[in-house]
Amino acid sequence: MLTDIKAVGFWNCSRQSAFFDGRIFNPTEYSCCNQSLYACYDHHELEKRHLYEDTVILVENRCCTPLVFLTSGGIGPLLQIL
């Protein structure tokens, strides 16, 4: 599988696998300068979903959760609910 992390039992199911793929980005980079921080997080999460979600669903019948972090230590909105 192409994702960074595979965890068994993460979502309270002892035999099911969960897939995670991470990205770390710099909020001061040129591509983020005209966007809010939330929009930057959203962009990176959506990009990861587009890259991996269909494959994970088709091959493993599971979901892929993008893990988005800032170079300064912040975490994306999706990570805050984990």
pLDDT per residue rounded down to tens, the chain (82 residues)? 578 888 888 877 667 788 888 999 998 887 777 888 889 899 999 998 888 888 888 888 787 888 999 999 889 887 877 7
Expressed as residue numbers, the domain containing 72 is 23-80
How far apart, in whole angstroms, are the C-alpha atoms of residue 29 and residue 18?
31
Task: For residue 35, tell me if it sits in a domain.
Answer: yes
Task: For residue 52, tell me if it sits in a domain.
Answer: yes
Task: For residue 28, tell me if it sits in a domain.
Answer: yes
Task: For residue 76, tell me if it sits in a domain.
Answer: yes
Task: For residue 60, tell me if it sits in a domain.
Answer: yes
Task: For residue 46, tell me if it sits in a domain.
Answer: yes
Q: How many structural domains is the chain composed of?
A: 1
Task: For residue 1, tell me if it sits in a domain.
Answer: no
Record the pTM.
0.77
